Amino acid sequence: MRRKEKRLLQAVALVLAALVLLPNVGLWALYRERQPDGTPGGSGAAVVPAAGQGSHSRQKKTFFLGDGQKLKDWHDKDSIRRDAQRVGNGEQGRPYPMTDAERVDQAYRENGFNIYVSDKISLNRSLPDIRHPNCNSKRYLETLPNTSIIIPFHNEGWSSLLRTVHSVLNRSPPELVAEIVLVDDFSDREHLKKPLEDYMALFPSVRILRTKKREGLIRTRMLGASVATGDVITFLDSHCEANVNWLPPLLDRIARNRKTIVCPMIDVIDHDDFRYETQAGDAMRGAFDWEMYYKRIPIPPELQKADPSDPFESPVMAGGLFAVDRKWFWELGGYDPGLEIWGGEQYEISFKVWMCGGRMEDIPCSRVGHIYRKYVPYKVPAGVSLARVFTFTWREDIRPGDPQHTKKFCFDAISHTSPVTLYDCHSMKGNQLWKYRKDKTLYHPVSGSCMDCSESDHRIFMNTCNPSSVTQQWLFEHTNSTVLEKFNRN
Ligand code: UDP
Ligand code: MN
């Protein structure tokens, strides 16, 4: 009887030991499954065992992060307190009360957002802390890699560019910012020349580089990356505002796994009144449709993290704002330098990361605001287009699609203000008849109006013809003016 009991006990002990210690079975594997990159704790301190816990040396080594590195609270409490006391235009991310004089078209012309309003708001304005409350108690590695912050710009507004830089300087631990590299993509606006150099001379960590010709954002980012000295490179757009404690949560994930590319949550700075708001829904991840349009789609409940403030995987990034280990970026080959102006680069880098054994994450505790423009203010040189190649057939209807024009649906509009939709081609002219006019508008004889596009909500719609409106200008490539004239006469 006793011997049996002893055997039983021995067997139980053996099974327990196997469960705890053997790799790829039992608790060990369970534990690793919960931590896909093999780094316990996500970005928080939650599951790091205290020193001395667990007697097995192998277990100890794996469980202790970064060779037993300590974690710390990176919040800059003083600056948070100072920010909370600020009052004035746009402070706390509130909407600026616009007057009729500021509501005019002219205010948007050069930047695609209201520069009059931007100019009225402090370069050091405060933002609301809209992070998940759990972010307040998250601790990150005490020793983090530093980063070069690369900001490409092309004809950016003065106050929007400077506010980007100020927000980074105000809300980043100085020891983590190796440098801020402003890369001018051949701007021609005066304020971006000597005045910018004089201004930035006051900030020793800021450098200005310039391209020798218009390169587009991809090669401009690459130029910045090529001179960067930081352990990590962080890309931002030239009209952003970094929010509270945005940087440590990004660098922490890279420190734990250098092949992780991380993106902050991108908040919306309104292009009219500069109010600062979250995008609809945080539990969303990057995706794209068959036309390569980037979109955010909800994360299925079973894949959502128990703590919504924890980092989560994202298949594709939005594009402009992310941090990456500098060497890993170059191991990935950087961006394809053949990419023009903008668009598509987010897929290229995203696919490479996943295919080369890296991962990509969105970091809810890191938030950066971005001004989503009303329309694209700068010229995109003819012949180079964006992510989507959009070809039009040479006929009286317009068939979007592949170069062989095999598609059988046409642009169709029913009234002078209706949306432009895709409908089966009927070859009966009428609603599907369009004229390619010399002033680069697309005229719709049936309604007597022109095709217009809304940058803010991605719609194509009919509008009163206004050839001076940039949103009614379409690029016609390889047109034959004789044929075009004959076509428009008939
Ligand atoms: N940019 C650039 N060269 C270009 C076009 C854009 O350097 O030819 C910069 C631009 O100033 C911004 C970033 O690239 O900092 C992303 O462009 P944009 O903000 O226009 O894109 P969006 O955010 O509207 O998608
Ligand atoms: Mn932008």
**DSSP letter string over 244-273?**
TT-HHHHHHHHHH-TTEEEEEEEEEE-TTT
Q: In this structure, which ligand is nearest to the CA of 237?
A: 1
Query: Between 62 and 10, whose confidence is greater?
Result: 10
- In the structure, ligand 2 is a single-atom ion and the residues with CB under 5 Å from it are 237
What pLDDT was estimated at residue 381? 63
Nearest alpha carbon to residue 204 among 227, 180, 172, 231: 180
Segments making up each domain of the chain, as ranges: 77-371, 406-489
pTM greater than 0.85: no
pLDDT at 26 over 50: no
What pLDDT was estimated at residue 4? 53
CB 143 within 8 A of CB 66: yes
376 Cα: distance to centroid of ligand 2 (angstroms): 9
What pLDDT was estimated at residue 312? 94
104 CB-near residues (< 8 Å, 6+ apart): none
Burial class (CB in 10 A: 0-12, 13-18, 19+), 435: middle
What pLDDT was estimated at residue 1? 37
pLDDT at 290 over 90: no
263 Cα: distance to centroid of ligand 1 (angstroms): 17
CB 321 within 8 A of CB 352: no
**Cα–Cα distance measured from residue 245 to residue 242, given in angstroms and rounded to the nearest whole number:** 8
Q: What is the pLDDT of residues 274-285, one digit of tens each?
A: 999 998 776 889
The pair of structure tokens assigned to 259 is 């092949």
Average predicted confidence (pLDDT) for the chain: 83
372 Cα: distance to centroid of ligand 2 (angstroms): 6
Read off the pLDDT of each residue in 412-433 and give the average, rounded to a whole number.
Answer: 85
The pair of structure tokens assigned to 213 is 């010709």
**Cα–Cα distance measured from residue 433 to residue 445, given in angstroms and rounded to the nearest whole number:** 7
pLDDT at 53 over 50: no
Give residue for tokens 């007057």.
Answer: 99
φ/ψ of 335, rounded to 5, equals -90, 155
Out of 108, 115, 150, 154, mutate this one to test ligand 1's pocket (max ligand atoms within 8 Å of CB): namely 154
Nearest alpha carbon to residue 112 among 480, 454, 463: 454
Same fold, 77-371 and 406-489: no
pLDDT at 466 over 80: yes
Q: What is the pLDDT of residues 203-217, one digit of tens each?
A: 999 999 999 999 989
DSSP designation for 40 = T
391 CB-near residues (< 8 Å, 6+ apart): 400, 401, 402, 403, 405
Nearest alpha carbon to residue 93 among 282, 265, 270: 270
Task: State percent of the chain over pLDDT 90.
Answer: 54
Out of 180, 187, 238, mutate this one to test ligand 1's pocket (max ligand atoms within 8 Å of CB): namely 238
267 Cα: distance to centroid of ligand 2 (angstroms): 12
What pLDDT was estimated at residue 400? 66
Q: Which CATH class is domain 77-371?
A: alpha beta
Instruction: Put residue 218 in one of left, alpha, beta given phi > 0 → left and psi -120 to 50 → alpha.
Output: alpha
Q: What is the DSSP string of 419-481?
A: BPEEEE--SS-GGG--EE-TTS-EEETTTTEEEEEETTTTEEEEE---TT-GGG-----S--H
**Cα–Cα distance measured from residue 115 to residue 161, given in angstroms and rounded to the nearest whole number:** 11
CB 339 within 8 A of CB 348: yes
Burial class (CB in 10 A: 0-12, 13-18, 19+), 6: exposed
Pocket around ligand 1 at a 6 A CB cut-off: 152-154, 156, 185, 216-217, 220, 237-238, 320, 341-342, 373, 378
Report the atom number in ligand 1 closest to the C-alpha of 239. 15
The pair of structure tokens assigned to 353 is 């990361």
Query: Between 26 and 338, whose confidence is greater?
Result: 338
CATH number given to 406-489: 2.80.10.50
83 Cα: distance to centroid of ligand 2 (angstroms): 25
DSSP designation for 127 = -
Out of 160, 192, 217, mutate this one to test ligand 1's pocket (max ligand atoms within 8 Å of CB): namely 217
